[in-house]
Structure 1
Amino acid sequence: MDTNTPNDTRLNLTLPQVEERITTLVRQGNLDTHEIGRLYNYVVENKLAKKPQYKNAQDFFKKRIKGLSQSALSMYGTVARQFNAEHCGQYGMNNLYVLLTYEKLSGTKVDVKDPGPTPITVPQEEGAPVQKPFAECTVEELKLAVQYKRSPPAPGIPTTDMVRLQRYHDTLARFFPENALVRLNARLHRDQILLSVKDVPEAELEQLAEAILECLNPAREAA
């Protein structure tokens, strides 16, 4: 991924000023998710949330920013680090976030200046996968493509269920952005889908609990 995109995190803001800006954006209702992502990255990369008041940036956002989940903030930051505001408005945060995941898994190179033509291999209910440009894919198709690249479909799990499983994968990835070991496995047993979450550090059980709650109630996630 070419990271040479306009996303200057040298904003010369204090932590209270960041809080005020994000709170104002949230209060306005129509979120500028790209700007929130830039502000999130600014706090993280400049280590503005310092001890003993806050354990880390995530602790600051949890305590001071209401109305946005940690998973949403992580997603906004990840996308804003790569794409400009125009792309976020054109394609949507969720789609671009899934595209970045697809890039990592497939080895496909995304042109950050023009991500629309990026080829995506989309699995089908019946027949061989088909290739479509990113700009023509729905978010459900993108998530199916990511799941297909992450691991072949488990025997017997319907393609429609894979969309839901991919949402679980995405949620864990956002809650554990710096821990690639944390992962979700799924298998079919006697007509039931069994899930197992692996390699969660004991110190991060609270994050796991929050991630599970969001999986159960996706409306908690600010999109």
Structure 2
Amino acid sequence: MTTTNDTRGVASQELFERCTQIRQLLAAGNANFHAIGVQYNLIVDTRLAEKAGFKNAPEFLTQQIKELSRSTLVTYGAVARAFSAEVCSQYGVSLLNQLIVYVEAAGVELDANDPSTMLISVPGADGELEEKFFGECTVVDLRKAIQRLRRPTSSAPLPAEVDARAQQCSAALTGYFPQQTGVRVEVRNRKGKAVMSLKDVPLEQMEQIAALLSTALRSSRAA
């Protein structure tokens, strides 16, 4: 019967062997990032670090291999999981990682076998969108495309009654605090929903804030 200590010992031996392989791949050059990612994913998927008594794979590996940060390991693993070694060799880790982020943000399907002809909507300096093939894109192009997708949109206008309530609440708070106090009230349209931000409100005045908002909301409902 295998004991817990035996299981931990076997896992620990395999874990350190894979760590040694990663160290050797790293010493051979950055071109091996796909192979490093494969080793990292194996450690994560089999929970090898946990079985050996460590907290998790990133923490163990970053302690053992100082040249690798947690974010780098996660990036290598994500790219290696999504793409073949050949695709990784062709495009590099930075560009492919940006493509993964873009695909998630855009809600489109990833062509992992041949991403070269995937269309990326890249905003230009004038805000106009240019459809570019992934194979023609730079890392900067992908970052611009991702930023555009993540930017809050006001394409869904606020319903009139919601806008009125938001503005009434904002006016009540803005009028209560003298301008020189530095308290700021901001109402934004976040995808058709009104959100309000308060900044630099003194803690001792929070009760009064609640009372002002309650009054403003009751007034807007009655209107």
Displacement over 4 Å in runs of 4+: none
Identity %: 41
**1:51 to partner: Cα distance:** 6.2
Pairwise CA distance, 1:127: 4.3
d(CA) in 1 for partners of 2:110, 2:29: 31
Partner of 1:198: none
Q: In the aligned structure 2, how far is the partner of 1:111 from the partner of 1:16?
A: 35
Shift, 1:31, TM fit = 3.9
Distance 1:99 1:53 in 2: 35
Kindly indicate whether the alpha-carbon contact (under 8 Å) linking 2:26 and 2:36 is maintained by their aligned counterparts in 1. Answer: no
Q: Report the number of matched residues.
A: 142
Listed as ranges, the gaps of 5+ residues in structure 2 are: 1-12, 154-223
Say whether residues 1:60 and 2:60 are aligned partners: yes
Tell me, which stretches of 5 or more residues in structure 1 are unaligned?
A: 1-12, 154-223
**1:161-201: per-residue Cα shift (whole Å, max 9, x none)?**
xxxxxxxxxxxxxxxxxxxxxxxxxxxxxxxxxxxxxxxxx
**2:44: which partner in 1?**
44
Measured in 2, the distance between the counterparts of 1:108 and 1:142 equals: 14
- 2:139 maps to which residue? 139
Say which structure is richer in helix: 2
Amino acid in structure 2 at the alignment position of 1:136: E
> Aligned partners of 1:110, 1:50: CA distance in 2, in Å?
32
What SS does structure 2 have at the residue aligned with 1:120?
strand
Shift of 1:126: 1.2
Please report the RMSD computed on the Cα atoms of aligned residues, expressed in angstroms.
Answer: 2.0
Amino acid at match of 1:148: R
RCO greater where, 1 or 2, for CA within 8 Å and sep 6 or more? 1
CA distance in 2, matches of 1:68, 1:110: 27
2:76/2:93 contact within 8 Å kept: yes
Partner residue, 1:77: 77
